């Protein structure tokens, strides 16, 4: 017995332990568990992140990104003046007045050159002004030929055509000239052009007028309106008899318009001089009234020219026209330009009268002499005044 107990108990114990181990160990279950463990190890967490549970990782949504904080407010700009620049200050603009002055010899109608700023005295409303700018001007011109073209009589039309032709012949390539005619109404024949040939062809087209009326005042007013839109100095070459028959505006109104339109100079050339000279003084009340109308027209033409610093001409023969327009060209192209700041700086819209005189170095009236030391008379041609700007403009 002791020997059995010694050797039999051990195998029994080993057998029992083996049965228990086999009961607890299941190869299939062990293999599934091993595969699951390996799968869990190979599986990574989702992109959204989060902890893993018993059945695998759980996808947890990420929190939305927080918007970036707003940028700080920009600092206030600091203006720094450039080096050498002073601090700006408030100032009032003082108006300047430009006066074109022509000095023409009475006998030869030549321009007097080589005058100095000290030779000019400018007065505004009788008060002497200080000239701050001076130069001699010789530049291209901008002119409007305003021609009377009415069915009155052929000598007047013929004089007008010859005068217009003579003026066009003396134009230069840089000049701008337009042609406008008038009878009962105005008509633009040629707009501003530098083509002399086009202008001459337009003059040749003036053959048969439409009406006998001559609305001179209306035509001048419309010409002033057209030229007021153009910068710089402009000229009206008025070729007409001077008689007005049916205008809507009066003489006073057209004179006011001429005064208030700046930088427009009028030169007038009368028509019908020869036929008037042959028929002047003939009997009959009708002819006497006609002569009175022409004399009144002559006076009005002189007034229009004098008010604007121009000149008037009353030719009787065609042969006078080249010299007349040569004289006009000299006056238009050769002038002295004076600039001054008026002592009366008020912008009240009032009319200011201008007077220009020539003096020598000692302040006495300037005398001009020829080669034989003979005194030569001259004319100082300048606009007689201007209208100051109104207070609200």
193 lies in the same domain as 340 = no
Q: Which residues touch 18 (CB under 8 Å, ≥6 apart)? A: none
pLDDT tens readout for residues 199-230: 999 999 888 888 888 999 999 999 999 998 88
pTM over 0.85: no
Examine residue 74 and state whether it is found in any structural domain, yes or no: no
For 254, the 3-state DSSP assignment is: helix
Which residue is listed with tokens 């408030």? 90
User: Percentage of the chain with pLDDT > 70?
Assistant: 76
202 lies in the same domain as 323 = yes
| The last residue of a domain, from among 289, 305, 333 | 333
| The last residue of a domain, from among 299, 318, 333 | 333
| CA–centroid distance for 182 within its chain | 28
- Confidence label for 75 from pLDDT (cuts 50, 70 and 90): confident
Give the mean pLDDT of the chain: 81
- Distance, in Å, from the CA atom of 129 to the CA atom of 248, rounded to the nearest integer, reads 39
Examine residue 37 and state whether it is found in any structural domain, yes or no: no
Q: Is the pLDDT of residue 270 over 60?
A: yes
DSSP string for residues in 95-155: P-EEEEEEEEETTT--B-----GGGEEEEETTEEE-EEEEEEE----EEEEEEE--SS-HH
Of the two residues 71 and 367, the one the predictor is more confident about is: 367
pLDDT at 190: 93
191 lies in the same domain as 320 = yes
Q: Which residues touch 213 (CB under 8 Å, ≥6 apart)? A: 150, 183, 184, 245, 246
Examine residue 9 and state whether it is found in any structural domain, yes or no: no
| The last residue of a domain, from among 304, 333, 362 | 333
Examine residue 287 and state whether it is found in any structural domain, yes or no: yes
113 lies in the same domain as 249 = no
Which spans in the chain are helix H?
2-24, 27-42, 154-169, 196-204, 216-228, 251-260, 273-279, 285-308, 321-333
- Distance, in Å, from the CA atom of 239 to the CA atom of 271, rounded to the nearest integer, reads 7
Examine residue 154 and state whether it is found in any structural domain, yes or no: yes
Q: Into how many domains does the chain fold?
A: 2
pLDDT tens readout for residues 104-120: 888 777 788 889 999 99
Which of 298-318 are b and which e, b meaning 16 or more Cβ less than 10 Å from the residue's Cβ? bebbbbbbbbbbbbbbbbeee
Mean pLDDT of the 20-39 span: 50
Examine residue 85 and state whether it is found in any structural domain, yes or no: no
- The domain in which residue 327 lies consists of 139-333
CATH of the domain at 158: 3.40.50.410
227 lies in the same domain as 367 = no
Examine residue 185 and state whether it is found in any structural domain, yes or no: yes
């Amino acid at each position: 017995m002791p020997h059995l107990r010694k050797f039999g108990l051990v195998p029994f114990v080993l057998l029992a332990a083996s049965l228990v181990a086999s009961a607890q160990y299941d190869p299939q279950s062990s293999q599934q568990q091993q595969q699951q463990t390996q799968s869990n190890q190979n599986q990574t967490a989702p992109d959204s992140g989060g902890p893993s549970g018993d059945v695998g990782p759980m996808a947890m949504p990420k929190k939305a990104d927080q918007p970036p904080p707003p940028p700080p407010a920009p600092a206030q700009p600091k203006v720094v003046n450039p080096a050498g620049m002073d601090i700006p200050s408030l100032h009032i603009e003082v108006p300047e007045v430009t006066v074109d002055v022509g000095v023409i010899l009475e006998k030869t109608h030549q321009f007097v050159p080589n005058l100095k700023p000290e030779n000019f005295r400018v007065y505004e409303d009788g008060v002497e002004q200080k000239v701050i700018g001076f130069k001699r001007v010789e530049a291209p011109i901008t002119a409007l030929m305003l021609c009377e073209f009415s069915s009155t009589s052929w000598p007047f039309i013929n004089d007008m055509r010859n005068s217009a032709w003579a003026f066009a012949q003396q134009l230069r390539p840089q000049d701008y000239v337009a042609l406008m005619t008038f009878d009962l109404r105005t008509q633009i024949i040629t707009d501003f052009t530098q083509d002399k040939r086009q202008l001459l062809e337009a003059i040749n087209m003036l053959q048969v007028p439409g009406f006998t009326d001559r609305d001179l005042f209306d035509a001048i007013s419309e010409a002033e309106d057209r030229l007021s839109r153009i910068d710089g100095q402009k000229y009206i070459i008025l070729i007409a008899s001077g008689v007005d028959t049916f205008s809507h505006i009066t003489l006073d109104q057209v004179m006011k318009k001429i005064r208030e339109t700046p930088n427009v100079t009028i030169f007038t050339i009368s028509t019908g001089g020869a036929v008037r000279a042959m028929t002047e003084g003939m009997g009959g009340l009708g002819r006497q009234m006609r002569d009175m109308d022409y004399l009144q027209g002559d006076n009005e033409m002189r007034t229009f020219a004098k008010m604007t610093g121009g000149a008037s001409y009353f030719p009787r023969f065609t042969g006078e026209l080249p010299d007349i327009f040569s004289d006009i060209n000299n006056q238009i192209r050769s002038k002295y330009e004076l600039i001054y700041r008026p002592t009366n700086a008020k912008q009240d819209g009032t009319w200011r009268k201008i007077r220009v005189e020539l003096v020598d170095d000692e302040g006495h009236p300037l005398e001009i002499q020829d080669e034989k030391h003979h005194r030569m008379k001259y004319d100082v041609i300048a606009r007689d005044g201007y209208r100051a700007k109104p207070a609200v403009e």
